[in-house]
Amino acid sequence: MLLCVFLCSSAVKAETGREAWLRYPPLSAELKRRYTNMPERISMSSQSPVLEAARSELIRGLSSLLARKIYPDDKAASRAIVLGTVESIKKGALSDLRVPQQIDEYGFWLKSHRLLGAQSILIVGQNDLAVLYGVFDLLSKVSRGEDVSALNEVQSPSAKIRWVDQWDNLDGSIERGYAGRSIFFDVGNVQRDLTRAAEYARLLASIGINGCNINNVNANPRLLENDFLPQIARIADVFRPWGVRLSLSVDLSSPKIIGGLDTFDPLDPKVAAWWHEKADEIYKLIPDFGGFTVKADSEGRVGPASYRRTPADAANVLARALASHGGIVFYRAFVYDHHLDWRDPKADRARAAYDIFHPLDGKFDDNVIIQIKHGPIDFQAREPVSPLFSGMEKTNEAIELQVTQEYTGQQRHLVYLAPMWKELLDFDTNDAKQKEGIATEPQSARRNEESESDERRYVKSLVAGKIFRRPIGGYVAVVNAGIEENWLGHPFAMANLYAYGRLAWNPNLSARRVCQEWARLTFENDPIVVRTVSDIAMNSWRTYENYTGFLGTQTLTDITGSHYGPNIESSEENGWGQWHRADHEGIGMDRSMETGTGYVGQYRPAVAKMYESVATTPDELLLFFHHVLYTRVLHSGKTVIQHVYDSHYEGADEVAEFVREWRTLKGKIDEQRYAEVLRRLQYQQGHATVWRDAICNYFLRLSGIADAKGRSGNFPNRTEAESMRLTGYVPVDVKPWENASGSNAIECRDSNGCSATFQFVGGPEVNEAAAELPHFKKYEIDVEYFDQYNGASRFRVFVSGRKVDEWAADDHFPANKVGGDSSTRRRICGVELRPGDQIRIEGIPDGEEHAGLDYVETLPESDDP
C-alpha cells in the first residue's frame, strides 16, 4: 500500500514548492470567466524600482492565471490597471479622484473605477511599497477566484514592524534551521549567486513583510568588518525592489573584537564613536539599512552586564548611532541566567525578562524596540503570554514568534502554529477572561478596525504601539528558510510563514481563514482540498501538544540537546530553568505569589488573580503555574495522570487520522507534494507513538498509577527486538530509558550484517482486532528502527524466507545514537501472515550507525484509505 503511493502517477503536474503561494497556475475555464473584463494594460503614474517590481509581478501573475497577454502601457488611461501613489495618481483623467482619508502609511486602496467609459482598476498606495502590497493582494484574490468586479477596499497594516529573522551563520549553516543551508552565506562569504535571496524577498513582500535580519543573533562580528560590508550590500541590493530592509545582528563586543578598542563599555565615549562610525559606513553602502538586532547577556553572549551597565545603556548607544539614518535597534528581551540553582524553590527563569526590562521602562530611545519572545521561556509548544508585553508603557515592543519549528517538530511534524499565535495575540493582558469583542473574521470591505481602548490591552494592540501611542512596534518571526527547494522542508511549514505575514498585517484574521487562503494558493481551489488541508492544519498544534507537552509542561523534549525527541528529565536538575519538578506524587512549577516563585505577580491584577489559584488556572497551563498531585481532578473531570495517558493516545491517534485524511487527496493535488506530505505524515505517525510511549511509560513508572484504560505499558501486538532470536545483534541500553520500548534496543556490530527473528503467533489481541475490522485481509508490519545521521544502515524483512521489504536508514534526524530522536517507523503494508510464520529482520550497519532495532508490531490491516 505504501509503495503504491509512490508509484501511482497523477494527472496534476509535479511541483517542488519553490513558488510557494505565488504559483499563479492557469485558472479553470469556469473561474477564468469571472475575469473576462479584467484590463490587460498596466500603467504606472510614476517610476521606481519598487513600482517596476510591482508591475512585473502583476504582468507575470495575471498573464499566467488568465492565460492572456497582459502588457505595460503607461499611456493607458482607461481599461487599465493603474498603479500609483496617492500623490502621483491624481493626474490627467484621474485628477478628480477622491482618495479615502483612512489609507495609513503603507496602506493601499483597491478600486474598480469607470474611466472614459471603460472598466479600470486602481491600485493606490501611500507610497510605492504600499502599491506593491496592493498588487500582491489583487493577485491573491484572482488566484483564489474572488470577485474583483466591484472593488473598493482599503487595507492598512496593523503595525509598522513586520520583520523576519534568519539565524544564518557565515559558514552557511543555520542555527535551528531545518531546510538546508543558508541562502545568504557559504564558507565565510556571501553567496555568489543571490537568486534565492531575491526570491525570498519577493515571497516576504507578498505577505507584507518589510524587513529581514539576515544573520544569527549569536552574531559573528566579522560581518561588520569594512571589507565584508560590501558583500552584505549585495544582499540589500536584491532585497530593495521588494521593500525588504536588511538588518544585521551585532555582537556588543565588536568595538573590542574587530575595532581594536580596549573596551566595549556602552557608556565609554570611544565605544559610542566606534558605533557611530560603523553606522555611517554601513549607510554609505546600504542607504535603506534597517538596523541592528542584539542578543546580549544571554546564553553565553557578552553584554552590558560585563560593565555593570543596563540593556538600556547598550541599546541606546547603538540607537544613537543609527538614529540620524532612520535605523532601529531590536534589543531582545531573551536575557536570562542559565546557571540557576535548581534546588532553590524561588529561582525561576520565567521571571527574567520582566525583572530585567520592566524597571527600565521609559529609559530606551525612541528607535529602540524590545523584541519579546511570545512566552517567558522559549518557543515551547504551550506557554502563557509573556507578562512583559503589559509591563512596559513607555517603550516600543515587538513580539518574537518562531516560524522555524525548533520545539514544535522541526518541520518533520506538521504543526500549523497560527492557532497558537492567535491565542497569544488575542490575549487581553488586562483581563484574559474577557472574550474579545471584535470580529476575528476578515474585514469586509473597508479596513481592519481594532479595539484600542485602555481596558482591552490585547497583545496585538500593545505590540502595534496602539495602547500607549508608541512610535513603532510590531512583529518579528524567526524563519530560517534554507536552500531546499521548498524553503522550509515540510510543505505545510510554509503555512506558518504565510500565516505569520498575514497576521502581522491583520491580526484580526482567523487562523482558519488564513489557512484556507494558503491552501488555495499553495495547492488547489478545489473545496475538498481546501477543507481537508485546513482541517488537518487547524487540529495539528493541539495534536502536537497532546503528545509532547501536557497541561503546560511546555515541551518534554531534550532541552540540552536536539530539542526534538522526548527526554523528560533533561529539563530537571540543571541550571537551564525549564523545570517541571516531577516526583512520584505530583508535577508542576509553583509560580504563585503566595507559595511559589512570585512570577504570577508580573501579570496585571485580573490575570494574576486567575493564575494565582489552582482552581482558576486553565487546565492547559496548570502545571506551568502550579505543582499538583497526579490525582488532582482537572476542570475536564479527569485526573492529571489520566489526562497524561489519554492525551498521548489521542495525539498519536489524531496523527493517524491526518494520514487517512491526506490520502483522500490523492490525485487532487500534484503527485510530488502529495507524496512528500504523505511520507512526512507517516513518519510523524510513528514518531508520535515514540513520544506517546516514552511519556506514558515514564509517568506510569514515576507515579505508580495505572492507566484506567489499560493501554500504557501494555503493548499486546509488539515483539521487542531484544527478545527475538539474535544472530550477531546485541542488546544495548537506551538512554533515557523511556525512549525505547522495554528500555532496550539491539545493535549490529558486524559489518557483514546481523539478523533478528521471531515467530508470528497471532494471539488473542491480534485475532480480536481482526474480528472487529470488517474488511480485514492482511497484516501491516511496523518495524521500529533507529535512523541516525552518521550512517545509512540497510534493512531487509523476510516472512518465512520471502522478502517483503527493504530500505536504507538514510534520513538525517538530529541523532548520532539510538534513542528518541532517531527512533523511526517503517510500515510494511498488505503482508499475508499465518501463525507460525518466521519474521526475520536483517540489518547491515554503516559508518557509526549500527542498524539499531527497537521492536516490531504486527497489526491486522483494514481497507481504509
By CB under 6 A, name the binding residues for ligand GCV.
167, 175-176, 216-218, 295, 299, 334, 378
Beta-carbon contacts of residue 167 (< 8 Å; ≥ 6 apart) = 174, 175, 176, 177, 215, 216, 217, 218, 404, 478, 480
Which residue number, 253 or 506, has a Cβ lying nearer to ligand GCV?
253
415-433 burial by CB neighbour count: b if 16+ within 10 A, else e?
bbbbbbbbbbbbbbbbebe
Residue 429: CB minimum distance to ligand GCV, A: 22
Choosing from 165, 265, 406, 484, the catalytic residue is 406
Instruction: Report the C-alpha gap between 672 and 503 in whole angstroms.
Output: 29
For residue 238, the surrounding DSSP H or E stretch is helix 229-239
**Amino acid (one-letter) located at 632:** R
Given a contact cutoff of 8 angstroms between Cβ atoms, the answer to whether 186 and 168 are in contact is: no
Which residue number, 167 or 242, has a Cβ lying nearer to ligand GCV?
167
Which residue number, 94 or 174, has a Cβ lying nearer to ligand GCV?
174
In the chain, the largest separation of any two C-alpha atoms, in whole Å, equals: 89
Residue 493: CB minimum distance to ligand GCV, A: 18
Which residue number, 295 or 718, has a Cβ lying nearer to ligand GCV?
295
Which residue number, 206 or 557, has a Cβ lying nearer to ligand GCV?
557
- Chain position carrying cell 511570545: 374
How far, in Å, are 439, 446, 466, 763 from residue 458 at the CA level? Answer: 14, 22, 10, 57
Burial of 540: CB neighbours in 10 Å, binned 0-12, 13-18, 19+: buried
For residue 679, list its beta bridge partners. Answer: none
- Chain position carrying cell 488555495: 520
484 catalytically annotated: no
φ, ψ of residue 671 in degrees (nearest 5): -65, -35
Q: Tell which residue, 769, 763, 430, has the closest CA to residue 606.
A: 430
Which residue number, 216 or 755, has a Cβ lying nearer to ligand GCV?
216
558 catalytically annotated: no
Which residue number, 295 or 490, has a Cβ lying nearer to ligand GCV?
295
Instruction: Report the C-alpha gap between 803 and 619 in whole angstroms.
Output: 49
Instruction: Report the C-alpha gap between 291 and 392 in whole angstroms.
Output: 22
For residue 477, list its beta bridge partners. Answer: 164, 401
Choosing from 277, 299, 361, 572, the catalytic residue is 299
Which residue number, 53 or 296, has a Cβ lying nearer to ligand GCV?
296
Which residue number, 24 or 579, has a Cβ lying nearer to ligand GCV?
579
Given a contact cutoff of 8 angstroms between Cβ atoms, the answer to whether 587 and 630 are in contact is: yes
DSSP state of 11: S
207-220 burial by CB neighbour count: b if 16+ within 10 A, else e?
bbbbbbbbbbbebb
Q: Tell which residue, 580, 843, 864, 559, has the closest CA to residue 721.
A: 843
Q: Is the dihedral of CA 143, 147, 150, 156 positive or negative?
A: negative
Residue 303: CB minimum distance to ligand GCV, A: 12
3-class DSSP assignment, residue 473: coil
15 catalytically annotated: no
Enzyme catalytic residues: 299, 378, 406
